[in-house]
Homo-oligomer: A and B are copies of this chain.
Amino acid sequence: MNRIPFEGVIAYPITPFDDQDRVDLPLFRSLLERLVISGANGIAPLGSTGVLPYLRREEEEALTEATLQQVDGRLPVLVGVSHLTTADTIYHARFAEKAGAAAVMILPMSYWKLSDEEIFRHYESVAQAINIPIMAYNNPATSGLDMSPALLRRLLGIDNVTMIKESSGDIHRMHLLQQMLGDDAALYNGSNPMALAAFAAGARGWCTAAPNLVPEQNNALYQAIRQNDLARAQASFTQQAGLLRFMVAKGLPRVVQAGLELRGIPSGGLRKPLLPLSADEKNTLQELLKACS
Contacts and interface: CB of A to CB of B under 8 A. Distances in A.
Interface string A186-223: 00000001101100111000000000000000000000
Given A169-B172, A229-B228, A200 B196 contact: yes
Number of copies: 4
Given A171-B171, A234-B202, A273-B119, A111 B228 contact: no
A231 interface: yes
Nearest to A175: B241
A169 to B, nearest CB: 7
B238 A118 contact: no
Contact of A54 (B84, B242, B253, B271): B84
10 contacts: A48-B112, A85-B271, A112-B253, A112-B274, A171-B197, A179-B241, A197-B200, A200-B200, A200-B233, A201-B234
Contact of A122 (B228, B254, B273): B273
A37 to B, nearest CB: 28
Interface residues of A, number: 59
A151 interface: no
Closest 7 A/B residue pairs (Cβ): A200-B200, A86-B272, A122-B273, A230-B230, A197-B197, A171-B171, A53-B111
Interface in A244-261: 245, 251-254
Q: Is the interface of A mostly helix, strand, loop or mixed?
A: helix
A118 B171 contact: no
A1 interface: no
A150 to B, nearest CB: 15
A112 B142 contact: yes
Nearest to A85: B54
B54 A111 contact: yes
Contacts of A272: 85-87, 121-122, 125
Nearest to A126: B273
Contacts of A279: none
A276 to B, nearest CB: 10
A38 interface: no
Contacts of A245: 172, 176
A48 B113 CA distance: 11
Contacts of A238: 178-179, 202
A118 B275 contact: yes
B234 A200 contact: yes
Given A86-B272, A113-B251, A194 B172 contact: yes
A21 B193 contact: no
